[in-house]
Each structure stands twice: as C-alpha cells, then as structure tokens.
Amino acid sequence: MTIAKGEKLPETTFVTMTENGPEPVNSGSYFAGKKVALFSVPGAFTPTCSAKHLPGFIEKAADLKAKGIDEIACTAVNDPFVMGAWAKSAGAEKTVTMLADGNGDFVKALDLEMDGSKFGLGTRGQRFSMIVNDGVVEALNVEAPGDFKVSTAEYMLGQL
C-alpha cells in the first residue's frame, strides 16, 4: 500500500556523494528533527527532470526555506556517482541534497516504483514530491504518468 499523509517514512539507506566519495545515509537519521522538501524523479539527466524538476527546486529554494523548509532533497533510482554528477552539472550542490536510491529500496518501501522497461530504464521511482516533518509525511504529491504538475516546487510552495 502506498505511503500516505501522516505516516512515518520507512527505514532505508540512501547513498550520497561527498568529498570523500559515496557515503551511506540512514533515512531515519536524515529526516529526524527537520522539515524536508523531498522530490523524486524517474532519472537524473532525463528531459523533464533536468529541464524543469530539479531547476525548479533550485530556483525556489529560498522561497521554500522562507516558508519553513530546512532542507531540500532529491531522490532517484540512480547510483551516487550519477546523482553527484547531475548535482554538479545543474549547480545544485549547495542547494539540493542528492539521495541516491540505487536499488530502489526507498521507492519500493513507499510503493511508488514504476516500470520504465519500455524506455530501457527498468524499475524506477515515480515522479512525486512530499513534505516530510521529522520523518512523517505531511503532504504527498504523486504525478499521473507523463504529468508534471503536482510535484513541482511551485505546487509545494502553495502547500506550505
């Protein structure tokens, strides 16, 4: 069953790229004690993700923080090297924390995976965003296949 508003995020491990290379990030520790704007993309460097989704959160970062967001994070079923390179190429390194969900464990636990096999992508995460407060989902915005409406930074600003 898909995670819902009011539920605690499942425990899982992401990987993030640091100056010292890839490092594990426990979801429980990461989301504890802060309000996070989290968004998921089907893949780094893919068209909508690179042209609109990530840039929107970079552009609206100050507005989100002004409305109480402590941190902005992006997750995708990609490896940490790809996520790190994407952050660098998009200029997101100081604005958005990239949480690689390389095996898709996080999106599977949320029941928000998608089958991108017909595009050569395999199992990926759906496009969604959520506001997470101290590990609990306050808002969940899942896009219909092919849409880019409710997971945007602008939409999230309206929810804060």
β-strand partners of 133: 35, 136
Whether 49 is catalytic: yes
What CA dihedral angle connects 119, 124, 126 and 129, to 10 degrees? -130
Candidates 3, 9, 49, 130; catalytic one: 49
* Structure-block tokens of residue 51: 């042209």
Contacts of 156 (CB under 8 A, 6+ apart): 37, 64, 129, 131, 139, 141
Short-list 156, 133, 107, CA closest to 5 = 133
Question: Which residues are marked as active site?
Answer: 49
